[in-house]
Amino acid sequence: METRIRELRAREKLTQEDLAKKVNVRRETIVFLEKGKYNPSLKLAYDIAKIFNLTIEEVFLIEK
């Protein structure tokens, strides 16, 4: 699954650590999310989308 987290984070001038602290996860989780190597739980996807004031499907691009 691809995500726009890196791009959105850069736009908001947030580091991986800042975002991790905001959504209460470890920095490694953000690293794997950005690389597309981890499918987050619905709650984490929602929390991340909320930080950027977007919907889940605007942040996480699900391949069909």
Partner 1 sequence: MLYISNFMLELNNIIMNKTKTMLILMLAGTVTFTIGLWLYSTKSELSIIEYTIAGLVLVVVVFSLFIGFKRLKDVKKGIPPEDELSVKIKQKAAANAFAFSFYLWTMIVIFIGDKEMRPTIPIGIGILATGILFLGLWAYYSKTGLGNGDTN
Residue ranges in contact with partner 1 by CB under 8 A: 1, 20-21, 24-29, 32, 35-41, 44
Q: Between 11 and 39, whose beta carbon lies closer to partner 1? A: 39
DSSP string spanning 26-57?
A: -HHHHHHHHHT-----HHHHHHHHHHTT--HH
CB of 48 to partner 1, least distance (A): 12
Tokens of 57: 């499907």
Q: Between 8 and 23, whose beta carbon lies closer to partner 1? A: 23
Is beta strand 2-3 parallel, antiparallel or unpaired with respect to 60-61? antiparallel
CB of 42 to partner 1, least distance (A): 9
